[in-house]
Structure 1
Amino acid sequence: MPGWTAHAAETGVVAPSSDIAVDPLDDVLRLLGVRGSLSAPLVAGGDWAVAFPPPAGVKFVGVRRGTALLQVEGEPEPVVLGTGDCCLVTRPRPFVVGSDLTVQPQPAHPLYVAAAADGLARAGAGEEFLALGGSFDFGDRARTLLLDGLPPVVRVPAGTAEAGALDWSLQQLEREVRHPGIGSRLVVEHLVLVMLVQVLRAHLATAGEDAPGLLAALADPVVAPALRAMHARPAHPWTVAELAATAAVSRSTLAARFSRALGNGPLEHLTRWRIELAAERLRDGSDTLAVIARTVGYGSESALSNAFKRVTGSSPRQYRLQAGRRLPAPA
């Protein structure tokens, strides 16, 4: 992404430990610590509208019956959702779902609080419309790594090849909601994460190289092999020439395709990815800064510290303290 700067000469990188193939999307989702949750189904009829607050992460809606309009604040036109459609709302903006957007919308929160009675959130009068909804929570780096590259609404229409797998997931979710059993919560958590991957796959299949950000890079036959190589061996002292060889193209071609897809060059992405890996270890582990530096490809604490502050705006020590942890004493 624009603004990220690599300084490969200062890294003092260490040798790689393996050549394990990695799916960069899986890698990013794992690093972001994605957590999925399911809300009560929404049942509605007649003239109705429900106003939702800005989602903290990403909101998903899967329509099981009927038709509704989805209007995200700031977008010029509503999105029409029909039976079998599924969508993601990816921006932290308020949105309204309803049969008629001129109707005064009901706030969503009281409807979902009242759902405790029979397990259904109800709006309007009738049951012509039924939708499953929920949310995905991400770590604090999600917007930079993934979400900013997505449109405000990602819609997968029913009837497309990509919608088939989503329909299966929605059927299973609906079954778990209506007939919960042993382990239902765990099943639901996994199913909604499966849905996220399926929607992202569907968006990638539709948008291809026109999709901005990481998804565009994964769709690019030149950029994708280089991405996989970097994500599999982040500590390797990669050069542009070596990365270009993985895609069988020239250095200038690789640099141009990276810039088009991600807004920066191969070594800029490598630096950013190393810093994301270092940030994860700072948040979730107790390794010393020297150990983290060696693990992600920096030969010294100072090299990592300089790169980390340039990318994140904080030193590694400040970052870990903000995450509620303290650096361990040097060995």
Structure 2
Amino acid sequence: MTDPLAEVVMLLRPATRFYKHVVGAGSWQVERSDAGEPFYCAVIEGTCRLALDGSEGIVLQAGDFVLVPAAHGVATSSLDVPDGAANSVPVALGGGMFRIGEQRGPTDLRMLIGHCSFDSPDSALLVSLMPQLIHVRGQSRLQTLVQLLADESREERPAREVVLARLLEVLFIEALRSISATGVARGLVQALSEPRLAAAIRAMHARPTHPWTVNELAKEAALSRSAFFERFNRVLGMPPMEYLLVWRMAVAKDLLRREEISIAAVAERVGYSSASTFSVAFPRHVGCPPARYAAENRGGAEDSEFISPSAA
């Protein structure tokens, strides 16, 4: 069965960029700007508070996992930090470990935090289909995955980057499907949790070449046309046909970047009747012709037989 959530995460192609092991004691707080980068945090021991963009925040406890697909202002602190307290400066202890708060005596907090990157030009779009904050509690599988990620990041083992990439893919999917997110009202995860919308989304992903109409998708969802359109637009944040176009173009761009394939073959695999029709639609969405996109993102030549619109 087609799994749209897994497909979205795999298209994002998460890659490890930064990781550290943090221990803390006493009163402390750290505020930072992450410029929209993906952020994750796993609390191994103790409690702390996490807030995004000046919000009141949530209390995290041992065993909690947080994933923020696009973090901007992130603040973490002990629960007893006074108002107006200065930012704490983490002290490097070596071996990828840092200490915050009181620098002597026993610690009362241990957590793994990190950033990754998404190797996809469609990352902003795909991230917009996810919740702003994913907070998972009581999922030992996620703790195991994070620990594996931490162990792998510290060792220079063969195929290290491949293993890290695969662990991150699994971690993202596990976090999203184990979701007990706070304040999730829209997005792909929410849509897939609604059986009727999920049926239509899976149909689009399973048969992207089919000439779908709103009426057909409404039948897949067992809803009237108007009810389906309204619910899809409200939960996904875009109309059904726009989502289908966005998904087709994301797949097309991925094919053009990764495979030596003709424009005609790409057009066929994403539901266009001809290379010329696809070559007209692609620039409207991407901003350049598919041949140029392939050449610039794969390093090939414009006149390569693999990127010629007329190639069979």
TM (normalized to structure 2)? 0.81
Q: How far 1:55 sits from its partner (Å)?
A: 5.3
Bigger strand share: 2
- Contact persistence 1:37–1:189 (CA under 8 A): no
Q: Which residue in the other structure is 1:83 paired with? A: 62
Supply the distance in 1 between the matched residues of 2:111 and 2:263 (Cα, whole angstroms). 48
In structure 2, give the amino acid aligned to 1:144: L
Alignment of 1:162-311 (within 5 A): 163-170=139-146, 172=148, 176=151, 185=160, 189-203=165-179, 211-311=185-285
1:278-326 Cα distance to aligned partner (Å, 9 max, x none): 1112222232222211221112233213322222333324433542534
In structure 2, give the amino acid aligned to 1:319: Y
Pair 1:103 & 2:85 matched = yes
Supply the distance in 2 between the matched residues of 1:178 and 1:248 (Cα, whole angstroms). 47
**Candidates 72, 75, 84, aligned match of 1:93:** 72
**Candidates 36, 58, 67, aligned match of 2:38:** 58
- Length, aligned pairs only: 297
Q: Which residue in the other structure is 1:12 paired with? A: none
Q: Which residue in the other structure is 2:97 paired with? A: 120
Supply the distance in 1 between the matched residues of 2:49 and 2:223 (Cα, whole angstroms). 46
Q: How far 1:60 sits from its partner (Å)?
A: 0.3
TM (normalized to structure 1)? 0.77
In structure 2, give the amino acid aligned to 1:121: F
In structure 1, give the amino acid aligned to 2:276: S
Supply the distance in 2 between the matched residues of 1:323 and 1:217 (Cα, whole angstroms). 32
Supply the distance in 1 between the matched residues of 2:87 and 2:77 (Cα, whole angstroms). 8
Q: How far 1:155 sits from its partner (Å)?
A: 1.9
- Contact persistence 1:63–1:83 (CA under 8 A): yes
Pair 1:142 & 2:119 matched = no
Q: How far 1:187 sits from its partner (Å)?
A: 5.3
In structure 1, give the amino acid aligned to 2:87: P
- Contact persistence 1:42–1:132 (CA under 8 A): yes
Q: How far 1:263 sits from its partner (Å)?
A: 2.9
Supply the distance in 2 between the matched residues of 1:213 and 1:312 (Cα, whole angstroms). 22
Q: Which residue in the other structure is 1:14 paired with? A: none
The RMSD of aligned alpha carbons is: 3.1
Structure 1 residues not aligned, in runs of 5+ = 1-20
